[in-house]
Structure 1
Amino acid sequence: MTGAPPRAPTRAEYCVIACAEAWRDAGEILASPMGLIPSVGARLARLTFSPDLLLTDGEAMLVRPDGTPEGWLPYRQHLTLVSSGRRHVMMGASQIDRFGNQNISCIGDWERPKRQLLGVRGAPVNTLNNPTSYWVPRHSRRVFVEKVDMVCGVGYDHAAAHPDTARFHRIPRVVSDLGAFDFATPDHSMRLASLHPGVTVDEVREATGFDLVVPDEVRPTRDPTAEELRLIREVIDPVDSRAREVGS
């Protein structure tokens, strides 16, 4: 008698896979995922195709994927990793534009904003000193905008205007609940790199507030392997917290 077949991968699990791919073969660098699904993705990468990845508890320790300490990361060492490009952050974005400029500070004019958000925080330092990717759980025109109201994370156009300060600047990918995106275009404008299953190009275009670069053939986000699904469901996130961030 055989058991029930495994459940098909969910949209949230495809998002985890797309986030994990940001750290593929990264070597011994510090992963700094901000948000639930990026954190699951970083831990999955460490357990599979990026075994040298360093994970932190966000305070003073290096940790294993299960959260147990494996080393000390004093603040001075953390800053050394940041300033030398040996860190890859995945941040959130309240707004992001075609060149990867990110806003988490305010909506509307800075002197009289309609909404106050987190503030600039460490976004400029992150983007100028080490690779920075982004995670957006709800892809919409309110987030993917023609021009951000305030530049917090530095995009490719602003980095090009000040090359001496941006030698480590790189935005490897943007992941949303609809697909994955990169900047592999001549002018570094955002390109649709993959679609999650069940999503169409028209759906992505409709939810994007600028003219997105779409190649003639858009590949699907890769399927998780059986072992990756086991790790996600049984080891990393057995209570299915990921489903609260991205539904089916």
Structure 2
Amino acid sequence: MSSPAAPPTAPVTRAEYCVVACAEAWRGAGEILASPMGVVPSVGARLARRTFSPDLLLTDGEAMLVGPDGRPEGWLPYRRHLAMVTGGRRHVMMGASQIDRYGNQNISCVGDWERPTRQLLGVRGAPANTLNNPVSYWIPRHSRRVFVERVDMVCGVGYDRAGDAPYHRLVRVVSDLGVFDFATPDHRMRLVSVHPGVTVDEVRAATGFDLAGGDDVPPTREPSAEELRLVREVIDPRGLREREVAPR
């Protein structure tokens, strides 16, 4: 008697494409501290650790190094953590309320500094992060309100302001529409892939400045069957990733 057919695999969701795109930010990173902020970047960092970047260090956000299953693996005292932060041995993936073509990021306020229309998180550690270790950004809702011609306040430092800071490097920006980098002669933001179902014209229409790159943009890499299994069954079985990427 033949065995019953396996149920069809659910289609890859937009959130899962975003997870893989975030994971790729840490490909080949070696033994550095990954600091993801947000559900999708966190799932991505754990996926990278379980697959192509096994030397990544992950923390519980306090004082412990943890494995991709969240179990403690070692102690990370605050002094050592700060040494990694200021010495280029951490790669943080932050959010952005606004970001411009050179990667300047704002998470502090919207509007004029003297009379802002909206108060946000505040500058926090964004200047030190961007000047002292590699940084990427995760933006779950791509729009002209976020991708702006000029940020209202510079929190994270972009390429046009970083000067000769030795560890300044903006690796990538991942949004719910596509993936971007700054690998252009003048370090302007470039569109490097679009998620399936998204067109280049849609990305440009949702961006408040001209993106570098042409019209021939490839699709974002699809997760492998094993990556999908890890994400769905091991890393995020509750599907929290889907709540962070709103349907369009």
Query: SS state of the match for residue 192, structure 2?
Result: strand
**Which position in structure 2 is the counterpart of 1:229?**
228
The amino acid across from 2:38 in the alignment is G
RMSD: 0.7
**Which position in structure 1 is the counterpart of 2:181?**
182
Measured in 1, the distance between the counterparts of 2:223 and 2:83 equals: 34
Between the two proteins, the alignment pairs up a number of residues equal to 244
Q: Does 1:42 align with 2:45?
A: yes
The amino acid across from 2:43 in the alignment is V
**TM-score, reference length from structure 1:** 0.97
The amino acid across from 1:227 in the alignment is E
Q: Using the aligned pairs only, state the percent identity.
A: 78
**Which position in structure 2 is the counterpart of 1:202?**
201
**Which position in structure 1 is the counterpart of 2:79?**
76
The amino acid across from 2:154 in the alignment is V
Match of 1:67 among 61, 67, 70: 70
User: Does structure 2 retain, via aligned residues, the 8 Å contact 1:11–1:247?
Assistant: no
User: Does structure 1 retain, via aligned residues, the 8 Å contact 2:103–2:159?
Assistant: yes
Q: Does 1:20 align with 2:23?
A: yes
Q: Does 1:148 align with 2:113?
A: no
The amino acid across from 1:102 in the alignment is Q
**Which position in structure 1 is the counterpart of 2:88?**
85
5+ long unaligned stretches in structure 2: none
Q: Does 1:110 align with 2:117?
A: no
Query: SS state of the match for residue 161, structure 2?
Result: helix
Measured in 2, the distance between the counterparts of 1:218 and 1:168 equals: 29
Measured in 2, the distance between the counterparts of 1:28 and 1:213 equals: 32
* Pairing 1:153-172 to 2, within 5 Å after superposition: 153-159=156-162, 162-163=163-164, 166-172=165-171
Measured in 2, the distance between the counterparts of 1:156 and 1:198 equals: 31
Query: What is the Cα deviation at residue 216 of structure 1?
Result: 4.3
The amino acid across from 1:143 in the alignment is V
Measured in 2, the distance between the counterparts of 1:39 and 1:84 equals: 22
**Which position in structure 2 is the counterpart of 1:2?**
5
Measured in 2, the distance between the counterparts of 1:76 and 1:94 equals: 30
Query: What is the Cα deviation at residue 110 of structure 1?
Result: 1.1
Query: SS state of the match for residue 135, structure 1?
Result: strand
Measured in 2, the distance between the counterparts of 1:119 and 1:247 equals: 25
Measured in 1, the distance between the counterparts of 2:70 and 2:40 equals: 16
Query: What is the Cα deviation at residue 184 of structure 1?
Result: 0.8
The amino acid across from 1:96 in the alignment is I
User: Does structure 2 retain, via aligned residues, the 8 Å contact 1:30–1:54?
Assistant: yes
Query: SS state of the match for residue 158, structure 1?
Result: coil
The amino acid across from 2:237 in the alignment is P
The amino acid across from 2:233 in the alignment is E
